[in-house]
Each structure stands twice: as structure tokens, then as C-alpha cells.
Structure 1
Amino acid sequence: MTLTQAIEALKAGRFVMVHDDKGRENEIDLVVAAEHITPAHVATMRQDAGGLLCLAIANEITARLGLVYMHDMIAGMGKVNPVYSRLTEGRAAYGDKPSFSIYVNHRNTYTGITDSDRALTISEMAKICKNVNVEEFAKNFHAPGHVPILIAAKNLLAERNGHTELCVYLMKLAGMTPAVAICEMMDSQTHKALSIEKASAYAKRSGIPLVEASELKEAHQRARVA
């Protein structure tokens, strides 16, 4: 039922919350479809979530745009300076390599960081993702910018179970352009990630569907078996 409600919310341009496994990051992200994002969405994510606002995109789209992982770009710079190679050694505490690629701004933004600027960058990137055009991407965006692009794993949940993959898969379930704005929910009292208990209370208070990673993984598994 929650999954159905989440899909309906995304299609209507409303927020969804996604909780990954307790054994992984154990964080909740506030999520909205990139194609529906507004400055008001960005303001809410900034004020009520407070983490890093990112744009997660399906692998088949980023591949056509020629985007690569930031990890690989930095590692490649080890040929210039060995320090870069050392910076990319190992994995994060939760076990994965990060899904970050480049940071971009739309060329019609000013500083790129305001609610309006980031909403413009994300919504215009959604258009690029819907009708992939490398020339339009190069012409209308510049880097570095203020919106980090996250590249979803090629095989999504069969390969990686981060918020990037969970949220892109949710967009695919909704039959929408697989580009989604996500932001971790922080707790200014504990100075840590917002607990699932507090997140559940926020979701109930705000009328936002809260989806567990297990629901998405079960749906993904059913689709693979079918």
C-alpha cells in the first residue's frame, strides 16, 4: 500500500521518503521527481531535510551523456599527482563506492545555490534525461556547479542498494523519467541522521508516504522472477 501511495505522490509532484537498510546507511531521504521540482520543494528539502540535495539519474541516461563517476575521475588524476590515487582508496563505512559524478548548474542560473537556481537546474536536467541530447546538455549546463549528479548502478538493486538506486527504481515503477532529487534528513538535536522514529512522525504529520528499502527490493525481485 505504501508503495502505491508513493508512486501516486511522485506522479502528483509530491514528496516521498525512502529509508534504506538499517545495516547500511540507515538514513531517510526526502525525495521528489526531478520533472516536478519547484523552488518550494528545494526550500523544504533545505529546511526540513538539511542534507546534500542531489540529482540521481538512471545509468542508461548518464552513459548516453558520457558522464562518469567522480571516483574514477579523481583516481585517473593519480597520473598527475599520486595523492589523488590515495584519496580514492577503500570504500565508505557502509561498504560502497560513492555514486557521485559531476556537479552542474544550468547556464540561466546566477550563483546556482538558491532555491530557484537549484530547482531550475534540476528541472532542466529532467528534460535532458527525458530526451537525451548531448549537445543540448553541453550547451545549457556548466560545471562545476551546485547540483551533484548521482549515477545509479547499471543493474540497480541487483547491483547496489543505495538511495540512488532505490529512488531511481521507484521512479521507474512510477513510469516516470528516471531522474529524482534526493536529500538526506538530518537531526539538528542529535547532529546525526534523523532516526526512523522521528522520520515516521514527520511523514505522518506531513502526509508523506515513507517507503522502506525492503518494499522496493521485494518489488524488484518479483519483477525479475516474473
Structure 2
Amino acid sequence: MPGMPLEVAIESLKRGEFVLVHDSEGRENEVDMVAAAGLVTPEHIARMRLHGGGLICLAIGPGLASALGLRYMHEMLSESPGFPRGMIMGLAPYGDRSTFSITVNHHRTYTGVTDRDRALTISEMAGLHGAADPRAEFVSSFRTPGHVPLLMASGGLLEERRGHTEMSVYLAGAAGLAPAAAICEMMDAETYTALSADKARRYAQDNGIPFVDGRELIEYAGVR
């Protein structure tokens, strides 16, 4: 479907540019700034921080998560002796479990939180997709806890879960890139809530950024 909005978004990701992704009104009803993890620069992180304002995370595909031996944070905490079980979040108000795993810094970072440091951690994590032994490289090159939260996409991607984690990983893969994406929720400093889809669309139009509607993405992916 050349020329369709989703094709435009995929081409933007290939060029290392942003796309905005809205999940759905019946879910989180949030819009995330999304960039292909392997092409992330400090400029991407600065723009997410200034124009997004939410949590800057790295969403990774199930293949890499499995190769690295990662687990969901709620699973690890549930097996941690003495940890208060009542603190562990079950289903979120929007109906899904969290995809958070551990937080990491690359070993060459300093504090880990600067735009340069987070861009380095994210791009180096994406580079593990081409590593001969990703688990060994992960263990030797990254430290935890850190300043980049890792989000693990569900095994069936959009067939299992339809959150920003899965949508961004799907889009990166569709672009022929490592299935990993840097994502950040867009916040509204006037209402102190998530930026509305309408305001996000205007931002996208003003800045020449493709806007991806989650329902259209589900249809594009052929998922029922």
C-alpha cells in the first residue's frame, strides 16, 4: 500500500525520524513519540524529554528478550522473598499487565541519565540484535539498575497485546530495522495529564511527523 500513512511512518523510522503512535481511546489513550532504537541519537532523547515529557523507555522484541534471559519485573518481584505481594501491580486500569523488565546503563556511560548516555545505552542495546552471542555481550556491557527502562513486547506482538511496546516494536521490524524502539509518552503541561490525541495530531502536523492510529496499525498488521 505505497503512499498510505503507515507506509509513510515506516519510511520515517527507516530515516531515523520520529513517528507518533496513539494506542486507542479504550486503552491508555496516550500518544507516544517513537524512534527506531538502532538509530537513536542524543537529539532524539532531548526532543523526547522536552516535547514528550513522559518516561523514556526502550521497547524490545520477544526474541531479544528471550536471548538475554530477561523477565518481567512483576514476575521477579513476586518471587523475591519478603517483598510485599500487595505492592505488585496486577492488571493496570487499562486492562493489561506492565511490560517493564529491568533498567540498564551501558558501561561506557557516566551518570547514565544525560541525553548522550541514554542514547548510547539505547543504540547499543539495539546493536545486540546482530551480536554473535547477545547474552554474553549484554552481561559484559550493561549494568543494572540504570536509567533506561526495558520493556518486553509480548511473544505474539499485536496478536497478544496492543500496547505501545508491541506497536513500536512491530513498526521497527516492519521498517527492516532491529525490532526495538525508543518510546516516550507525550504529556500536557496545561492539563497535567497525557496529551490528547487531537493535540498530538496538531503537533504532528506542525512538525511534519507521521501520526499512527493504533486501530489502523492493527488492521495493517492483519490482526483480528
Whole-angstrom CA distance in 1 between matches of 2:184 and 2:68: 23
Contact 1:20–1:163 (CA<8 Å) still a contact in 2? yes
TM-score, normalised to structure 1, is 0.95
Corresponding position: 1:167 with 2:153: no
Corresponding position: 1:35 with 2:25: no
**Structure with a larger share of its residues in helix:** 1
Whole-angstrom CA distance in 1 between matches of 2:83 and 2:99: 22
* SS of residue matched to 2:25: coil
% of aligned pairs identical?
53
Q: Which consecutive aligned stretches of 4+ in structure 1 deviate over 6 angstroms post-superposition?
A: none
* SS of residue matched to 1:221: coil
Corresponding position: 1:153 with 2:148: no
Matched residue count: 220
Corresponding position: 1:109 with 2:109: yes
Whole-angstrom CA distance in 2 between matches of 1:177 and 1:50: 25
Match of 1:199 in 2: 200
Match of 1:217 in 2: 218
Corresponding position: 1:87 with 2:87: yes
Deviations 1:158-200 (A, max 9, x none): 1001100011111121111001000000000000000011101
* SS of residue matched to 1:146: strand
The correspondence of residues 39-118 of structure 1 with structure 2, limited to 5 A, is 39-77=42-80, 80-81=81-82, 83=84, 85-118=85-118
Contact 1:45–1:183 (CA<8 Å) still a contact in 2? yes
Whole-angstrom CA distance in 2 between matches of 1:220 and 1:8: 16
| Change in 2 beyond 3 A, CA 1:62/1:189 | same
Contact 1:17–1:209 (CA<8 Å) still a contact in 2? yes
| Change in 2 beyond 3 A, CA 1:82/1:46 | closer
Contact 2:19–2:35 (CA<8 Å) still a contact in 1? yes
Contact 1:129–1:179 (CA<8 Å) still a contact in 2? no
* SS of residue matched to 1:137: helix
* Unpaired segments ≥5 residues, structure 1: none
Cα deviation for residue 90 of structure 1 reads 2.9
Whole-angstrom CA distance in 2 between matches of 1:171 and 1:18: 12
Match of 1:119 in 2: 119
CA RMSD in angstroms comes to 1.2
* Unpaired segments ≥5 residues, structure 2: none
TM-score, normalised to structure 2, is 0.95
